[in-house]
Chain A
Amino acid sequence: AQKVTQAQTEISVVEKEDVTLDCVYETRDTTYYLFWYKQPPSGELVFLIRRNSFDEQNEISGRYSWNFQKSTSSFNFTITASQVVDSAVYFCALSSWQGAQKLVFGQGTRLTINP
């Protein structure tokens, strides 16, 4: 069975600090996808990134970066120089390579950036 664990339920930092959100996953599949979604206070789910299991290259997009380590089954998300607008609930999710495409979500991490 697939499982995603986001051990950090809530994180609170002061603006401009760097913050890392942890994601650990379990799967028996040899190929799979990992995702991060953002849920701002308005409630919608915003797609941030998708990563293939065979591509362990880290990715950077502006202030956002993702560190995928297959050896530790982790896909961590770092926000550099955080801003108040980054305040949201962040979800990590896992999906098989093909087939039912069910997204298995972690419990989410509520990130609060204080001014």
Chain B
Amino acid sequence: EAQVTQNPRYLITVTGKKLTVTCSQNMNHEYMSWYRQDPGLGLRQIYYSMNVEVTDKGDVPEGYKVSRKEKRNFPLILESPSPNQTSLYFCASSLSSGRRTDTQYFGPGTRLTVL
């Protein structure tokens, strides 16, 4: 089944404790992206990747890191989480990048609480 998976789905942590949210897609998509969803703000892009080893900042990148060592994986790293990073996080992927915009398909979401 074609899908985007995220782990963990739910996470409660404490301020300053490094964490990684994994994202994997099995559709051979070039483009991957991370968004966060906050009440009243919709979804905002954190980082994106046009292909392996190519990443760039979105609208709200502060406090996050990403890497794209393999085409299928795009982990989101919070080196020192803070309470304002409590949010619902979505990973997304689409077939192509650059030449045209394709539909982005989303993972199931990761609900993160930072105490």
Q: Which residues of A are interface residues toward B (Cβ below 8 A)?
A: 4, 33, 35, 37, 43-45, 47, 50, 91, 93, 95-103, 105-108
Contacts and interface: CB of A to CB of B under 8 A. Distances in A.
Given A43-B108, A43-B109, A44-B108, A101 B42 contact: no
Contact of A103 (B35, B56, B109): B35
A35 B40 CA distance: 19
Given A91-B42, A107-B41, A101 B109 contact: no
Given A35-B103, A100-B48, A107 B40 contact: yes
Interface stretch (B15-23, B64-72, B76-84, B91-99): B91-99
Interface residues of B, number: 31
Contacts of A103: 33, 35, 43, 45, 92, 104
B114 interface: no
B101 A96 contact: yes
A37 B109 CA distance: 14
Given A103-B104, A107-B41, 13 more contacts: A35-B103, A43-B111, A45-B90, A47-B104, A47-B106, A96-B101, A98-B99, A98-B101, A100-B56, A102-B45, A105-B35, A105-B44, A107-B40
Nearest to A9: B40
